[in-house]
Amino acid sequence: MPIKIQENDFDLSAEIAALRKGEPRVGAVVSFLGTVRDMNDGSQVKGMTLEHYPGMTEKALEEILDQAKSRWDIHNTLVIHRVGSLMPEDQIVLVAVTSAHRGEAFAACEFIMDYLKTAAPFWKKEDTPEGARWVDARVTDEAAMARWK
């Protein structure tokens, strides 16, 4: 279950090919790709900087992936999260899950993403025409995580 925190961009096709290579038991691959929007809370976003807590980030993501593996019958998982400077349209995050059948992979992928949003120590700072601002956490993200409990 690779976890990669990196400044560099990634190739979605190559990552998914690697995740399921030599795994004929896989019948379903579900992936979520998060990208940078050019609008947030009514302001234009010119770019953003992503900060994280090295060490804790990897531990938090490992715990989330372990939970997903204990809840659903899935094979492999992958999380890539970029940090540093990003621009609108850039890829930020990839979560991919493989399983025998689609239902387990769909559920696990959404679960991982919902938990990542509230439990993994990343913070976004947006560059807007009104100046730089730290993004506020959304109440809807807490609600999205709570429904899995």
Partner 1 sequence: MKLELRFFASLREALGVSQESATIPATVKTIADLRAHLIERGNPWSEVLANGKVLRCALNQHMVDASTALQDGAEVAFFPPVTGG
Q: Tell me 138's DSSP state.
A: P
Query: In the complex with partner 1, which residue's Cβ is closer, 69 or 124?
Result: 124
Q: Within positions 15 to 44, which residues make up the interface with partner 1, using CB under 8 A?
A: 34
Residue 135 sits in the site that holds partner 1 (CB under 8 A): yes
What is the closest distance, in whole angstroms, from the C-beta atom of residue 65 to partner 1 in the complex? 15
Min separation Cβ 23 and partner 1, Å? 26
Asked if 59 touches partner 1 (CB under 8 A), the answer is yes
Query: Is 55 one of the binding residues for partner 1 (CB under 8 A)?
Result: yes
**Does residue 102 belong to the site contacting partner 1 (CB under 8 A)?**
no
Which of 9, 37, 73, 123 is in the footprint of partner 1 by CB under 8 A? 123
To partner 1, the closest distance from the beta carbon of 13 in angstroms equals 21
Beta-bridge mates of residue 115: none
Could you write out the DSSP letters of every residue in 101-130? SHHHHHHHHHHHHHHHHHHS-EEEEEEETT
User: At 64, which amino acid appears?
Assistant: I
**Burial category of 61 from C-beta neighbours within 10 Å (exposed 0-12, middle 13-18, buried 19 and up):** buried
Total residues interacting with partner 1, rule: CB under 8 A: 27
- Buried (b) or exposed (e) across 39-58, using 16+ Cβ within 10 A? ebeeeebebbebebeeeebb
75 binds partner 1 (CB under 8 A): no
Both structure tokens of 147? 């429904």
Give the interface with partner 1 as residue ranges (CB under 8 A): 34, 50-53, 55-56, 59-60, 81, 92-93, 113, 116-125, 134-137
